[in-house]
Amino acid sequence: MEEIANRKSQIANLRTAVIGVGSLGQHHARNYAEIAQTGETELVGVCDSNEENARAVAEKNNCDYFTDWRELLDKVDAVSIVTPTETHAPIACAFLDKGVNVLVEKPIAKTLAEADLMIEAAEKSGAKLMVGHLERFNPAMVALRPFVTKPLYFEIHRVSPFPNRSLDVDVVLDVMIHDLDAVQWLVGESVKVSEIHAVGIPVISDKVDAANARIEFENGAVANITASRIGTEKIRKTRFYQTNGYVVLDYATKFASVTSLAPNAIHPLLGINVNRLEIVDIEPLRAEIEAFINSIVQDKMPPVTAHDGRRALSLALGVLEKIDEHARKVFPE
Ligand SMILES: NC(=O)c1ccc[n+]([C@@H]2O[C@H](COP(=O)([O-])OP(=O)(O)OC[C@H]3O[C@@H](n4cnc5c(N)ncnc54)[C@H](O)[C@@H]3O)[C@@H](O)[C@H]2O)c1
């Protein structure tokens, strides 16, 4: 009883912080500050090795700022880690070791070995470890998810103008990983990948800037995914076919529809029904952070687990391996 009471009082004032408040982390901080207004959580502070960033975001959100995340280890119950990918594992492990719950941005880490260390640390301390695969919280995806049956063929495009950020990773780990996670989630977490074909090229940076991958699953599902960060427009479109249905999902415009033969249609051309799904327009990051907090408060599995994050990373690394293989064939030394 006492244990439950202690847990409740700890949760009643869940102390939160954000590590890394650059282009994405500042929005984590804003959301934690807004959520704190309910009185159930508190934004203790933000941390950034760039003091100017840290101070500016702290001022906006009315909290303390730090330039060394170690100072927060004993001050918080939950953190978002929104630093460059190569720093995820050491920072996350230090917080997890202390029993602090962690929401780490995608990709979970740079290598599978690092991801395993994070999973081990979470399992040891019992702290929650969630991965920020944000598209799962996009209102269009949330509306669509209940209508997904057995997708068999995906055609996916994710194109952006050159970002001048996240250049520590290639386009596969930076953005294609969103679609790799979504496809695996929709096909089924336990369905194994049987084959990967991929091609990719560095165009503007020294890493792969544009890539195409064909992922084949053991159950016969196939996904054709194109990701580019050197486009002239922003495209975030997924189309897929499932038995008796054609699905369109646009993350950018938050649109989802399912096209199928209308019930009792006598002639297919006369009986096509396009069901434009109703969207509840919530900021995806807000939904993601609330889901993280709920998983702590209700002591349940986070909706995107560390194993999901590891699976997406493993798939992305598999795509990169195939891109390398293809490049060696095309440009033999
Ligand atoms: N889920 C998504 O849709 C999405 C979108 C963008 C970025 N991301 C991920 O978020 C992470 C950050 O990306 P970003 O675009 O915000 O990068 P960014 O470079 O804009 O910001 C990173 C910040 O971390 C700070 N930092 C670096 N090392 C630090 C350390 N050791 N301690 C404290 N602060 C440190 C930097 O000073 C910088 O302000 C990456 O992992 C990226 O893949 C996810």
Helix 306-330, helix 112-125: angle, nearest 10: 170
- 78: nearest Cα among 35, 41, 30: 41
User: From atom 19 of ligand 1, which residue's Cα is the shortest distance away?
Assistant: 22
Helix (H) or strand (E) segment spanning residue 246: strand 245-250
pLDDT at 4: 40
Strands 41-47 and 14-19 turn out to be: parallel
Give residue 8's pLDDT.
45
- Determine if ligand 1 sits within 6 Å of the CB of residue 164: no
CA of 239 to the centre of ligand 1 (A): 30
- Give the DSSP letter of residue 73: T
Residue 294, SS3 per DSSP: helix
CA angle 179–183–189, rounded 5-degree value: 130
Burial letters for 233-262: b for 16+ Cβ neighbours within 10 Å, e otherwise? eeebbbebebeebebbbbbeebbbbbebee
Q: Using alpha carbons, list the distances in angstroms from residue 177 to 30, 98, 299, 327.
A: 25, 29, 28, 20
In 3-state terms, what secondary structure has residue 242?
strand
Average pLDDT across the chain, whole number:
93
Ligand 1 centroid, distance to 116 Cα (angstroms): 21
**pLDDT for residue 267:** 64
Neighbours of 276 (CB within 10 A): 12
Mutate to test the pocket of ligand 1, among 53, 57, 166, 286 (most ligand atoms within 8 A of CB): 166
Index of the ligand 1 atom closest to the CA of residue 87: 31
pLDDT confidence of residue 3: 44
List the chain residues with pLDDT less than 50: 1-10
Q: Apex CA 234: angle with CA 228 and CA 239, to 5°?
A: 80
Residue 149 CB less than 6 A away from ligand 1? no
Measured from the CB, is residue 102 less than 6 Å from ligand 1? no
Q: How many CB atoms lie within 10 A of CB 28?
A: 28
Q: How far apart are the first and last CA of the chain?
A: 68
Residue 67 CA: which ligand 1 atom is closest?
Answer: 33
